[in-house]
Amino acid sequence: ETGVTQTPRHLVMGMTNKKSLKCEQHLGHNAMYWYKQSAKKPLELMFVYNFKEQTENNSVPSRFSPECPNSSHLFLHLHTLQPEDSALYLCASSQQGQPQHFGDGTRLSIL
């Protein structure tokens, strides 16, 4: 059973909608990550937070807006998305010097 929980598991939204993805970790880790996984492409790192502070923004379009209110929770706010944004969005967490633990992802479909 994963210590990283993502909700919802599936999300279908129109291009004009606003929705949020949620990630929660119960592992006591201090870093959290958002990744995008598209078919036939490597995992793309989107954002990294260390101790609630954003330390990495990998040139992600502004229609994706992350929020990390504390070390256990991470959100990805979505608005005005494009069809090419349809993908599996994975959240991960880690402790310093340790590998990342992944959630099961949110499968996002943009109509």
Chain residues that interact with other proteins, rule: CB under 8 A: 2, 4, 6, 30-31, 40-43, 45, 48, 50, 56, 90, 92, 94-97, 99-105
Torsion angle of the four alpha carbons 110, 31, 49, 109, in this order, in degrees rounded to the nearest 10? 0
In angstroms, give the least distance from the CB of 11 to other proteins.
14
Concatenated DSSP letters of 83-111: GGG-EEEEEEEE-TTS--EE---EEEEE-
Residue closer to other proteins, measured from CB, 69 or 99: 99
In angstroms, give the least distance from the CB of 102 to other proteins.
4
In angstroms, give the least distance from the CB of 31 to other proteins.
4
Query: Is the previous residue joined to 8 through a cis bond, with omega within 30 degrees of 0?
Result: yes
Residue closer to other proteins, measured from CB, 16 or 39: 39
User: Distance between CA 93 and CA 29 in Å, rounded?
Assistant: 6
Residue closer to other proteins, measured from CB, 5 or 65: 5
